[in-house]
């Protein structure tokens, strides 16, 4: 999760203007299932919560066209675009010069099927080991061929195919690029090797291949069409606690000054509890009673914020990230208008998401029911999550 990593910049290198497609347009603009290849690559990085900025290195001649066709129409407004250099190393350098992250991930613009999960694994490995790359073990038998004839079989033991992303601690990539003034490597880890250092291998995925010709494009189309659509999922939650004297009142993680508080085994934060149920429901993980039973002493007095944090960790472990949440308090008093922003921020902090994903509101019940008579407060919540596996 984002808490353990410093800022990560993604440098997407898409500076080649050549094409083996036979057309005149660069392959990063080729349509893959109706969208430019490059826009899909960018979307994968945009979807990762560990990435704090995206820098896109483009061929100078095509800069405006690519921005107009593959960046702007897809809402990728935060992407910084810079012109590339004469070769791969020079293009990486141009991207690096504007990157501010403590970790730099370099990725080929034409590997559009990269998974969010792989991006994050390489970022973490780079932070731990200073340099890391995605790679896949070679499974085919390798032959050395001369003039159309096999001259020898290469021992494939311990042979891996390098992919991207490749990740580096900032200072290491700076040294690697500085040491590469006159020479270039076909990948960025190659520059680190020239310093006599090595990189950690993160098992990549066969689907994370580079699109270099029409056949690759057709293969990527087939993979995309066979993947089941991952639709957002929604859960709802409801909770009610009695109001009683002599108890503090916690609502959505914020202590509210009021003459009554809510009764319960925990801090009885009715809004947090409804949202915990909504998150668990959206992730298909049952309910609050299953994960945090009243019968267990360890949950006695536990705060609503702590339960939200635990529930979100369980949802993330199951592969889900929060899209948004909406929480409604039901009751006559206290009025929570002045606390809405603080509540949204407290919930967001507990869930490790931006506060603008959380909406807090309230309603009354016309003086009817326990909530209308001041005997209890109830809360309703919905949470929407997205499958990020
Ligand atoms: Mg409750």
Dihedral sign, CA of 31, 47, 94, 104? negative
Instruction: Answer for the pair 250, 307: CB distance below 8 angstroms, yes or no.
Output: no
Q: Residues 6 or more apart from 148 whose CB is under 8 A from it? A: none
Instruction: Answer for the pair 187, 146: CB distance below 8 angstroms, yes or no.
Output: no
What pLDDT score does 168 carry? 97
What is the Å distance from ligand 1's center to 340 Cα? 20
What pLDDT score does 22 carry? 61
> At residue 379, what are phi and psi to the nearest 5 degrees?
-145, 145
Among 281, 349, 341, 363, CA closest to 309: 349
What is the Å distance from ligand 1's center to 241 Cα? 6
What is the Å distance from ligand 1's center to 123 Cα? 38
Cα(292)–Cα(267) distance, rounded to whole angstroms? 13
Q: Which residues share a beta bridge with 16?
A: none
What pLDDT score does 24 carry? 78
What pLDDT score does 2 carry? 42
| Other CB atoms within 10 A of residue 291 CB | 16
What is the Å distance from ligand 1's center to 266 Cα? 8
Q: Which residues share a beta bridge with 325?
A: 358, 383
What is the Å distance from ligand 1's center to 128 Cα? 40
CA torsion 194-201-106-159 (nearest 10°) is 70
At 107-143, the pLDDT tens digits run 999 999 999 999 999 999 999 999 999 999 998 999 9
> At residue 303, what are phi and psi to the nearest 5 degrees?
-80, 155
What is the Å distance from ligand 1's center to 357 Cα? 23
What is the Å distance from ligand 1's center to 205 Cα? 43
What is the Å distance from ligand 1's center to 242 Cα? 10
Instruction: Answer for the pair 92, 188: CB distance below 8 angstroms, yes or no.
Output: yes
What is the Å distance from ligand 1's center to 289 Cα? 9
What is the Å distance from ligand 1's center to 28 Cα? 52
Burial of 167 (0-12, 13-18, 19+ CB in 10 A): buried
Under DSSP, the state recorded for 68 is I
What is the Å distance from ligand 1's center to 317 Cα? 23
What is the Å distance from ligand 1's center to 112 Cα? 44
Does the bond joining 244 to the residue before it have cis omega, within 30 degrees of 0? no
What is the Å distance from ligand 1's center to 378 Cα? 9
What is the Å distance from ligand 1's center to 283 Cα? 19
What pLDDT score does 186 carry? 81
Does the bond joining 337 to the residue before it have cis omega, within 30 degrees of 0? no
What is the Å distance from ligand 1's center to 253 Cα? 13
Q: Residues 6 or more apart from 128 whose CB is under 8 A from it? A: 200
Instruction: Answer for the pair 332, 367: CB distance below 8 angstroms, yes or no.
Output: yes
Cα(363)–Cα(153) distance, rounded to whole angstroms? 75
What pLDDT score does 181 carry? 67
What is the Å distance from ligand 1's center to 258 Cα? 19
What pLDDT score does 132 carry? 98
What is the Å distance from ligand 1's center to 270 Cα? 5
- In which region does residue 367 sit, left (phi positive, over 0), alpha (psi from -120 to 50) or beta (all else)? left
What pLDDT score does 21 carry? 63
| Other CB atoms within 10 A of residue 266 CB | 21
Which single residue is written with the structure tokens 């990157």?
99
What is the Å distance from ligand 1's center to 229 Cα? 35
Cα(156)–Cα(154) distance, rounded to whole angstroms? 6
**Structure token digits, residue 328:** 């409604």
| Stretches in the chain below the pLDDT threshold 50 | 1-2
What is the Å distance from ligand 1's center to 44 Cα? 37
At 162-194, the pLDDT tens digits run 999 999 999 999 999 988 766 667 889 999 999
């Amino acid at each position: 999760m984002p808490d353990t990593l410093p800022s990560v910049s993604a440098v997407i290198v898409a500076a080649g203007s050549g094409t083996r497609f036979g057309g005149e347009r660069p392959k990063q603009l080729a349509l893959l299932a109706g969208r430019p290849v490059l826009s899909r690559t960018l979307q994968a990085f945009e979807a990762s919560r560990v990435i704090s900025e995206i820098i896109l290195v483009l061929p100078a001649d095509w800069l405006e066209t690519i921005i107009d066709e593959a960046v702007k129409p897809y809402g990728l407004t935060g992407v910084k675009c810079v012109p590339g250099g004469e070769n791969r190393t020079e293009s990486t350098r141009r991207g690096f010069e504007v990157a501010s992250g403590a970790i730099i991930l370099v990725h080929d613009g034409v590997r559009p099927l990269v998974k969010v999960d792989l991006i994050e694994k390489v970022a973490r490995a780079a932070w731990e080991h200073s340099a890391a790359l995605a790679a896949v073990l070679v499974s085919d038998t390798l032959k050395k061929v001369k003039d159309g004839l096999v001259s020898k079989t290469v021992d494939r033991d311990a042979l891996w195919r390098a992919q991207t992303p490749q990740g580096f601690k900032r200072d290491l990539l700076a040294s690697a690029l500085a040491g590469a003034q006159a020479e270039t490597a076909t990948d960025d880890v190659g520059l680190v090797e020239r310093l006599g250092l090595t990189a950690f291998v993160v098992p990549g995925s066969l689907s994370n291949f580079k699109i270099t010709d029409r056949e690759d494009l057709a293969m990527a189309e087939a993979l995309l069409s066979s993947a089941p659509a991952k639709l957002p999922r929604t859960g709802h939650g409801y909770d009610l606690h009695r109001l009683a004297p002599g108890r503090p009142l916690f609502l959505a993680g914020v202590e509210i000054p009021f003459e009554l508080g809510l009764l319960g085994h925990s801090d009885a934060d009715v809004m947090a509890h409804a949202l915990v149920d909504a998150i668990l429901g959206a992730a298909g993980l049952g309910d609050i009673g299953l994960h945090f039973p009243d019968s267990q002493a360890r949950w006695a007095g536990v705060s609503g914020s702590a339960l939200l944090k635990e529930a979100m960790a369980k949802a993330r472990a199951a592969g889900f990230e929060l899209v948004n949440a909406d929480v409604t308090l039901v009751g006559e008093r206290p009025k929570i208008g002045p606390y809405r922003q603080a509540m949204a921020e407290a919930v967001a902090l507990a869930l490790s998401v931006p506060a603008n994903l959380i909406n807090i509101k309230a309603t009354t019940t016309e003086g009817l029911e326990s909530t209308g008579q001041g005997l209890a407060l109830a809360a309703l919540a919905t949470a929407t999550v997205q499958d990020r596996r």
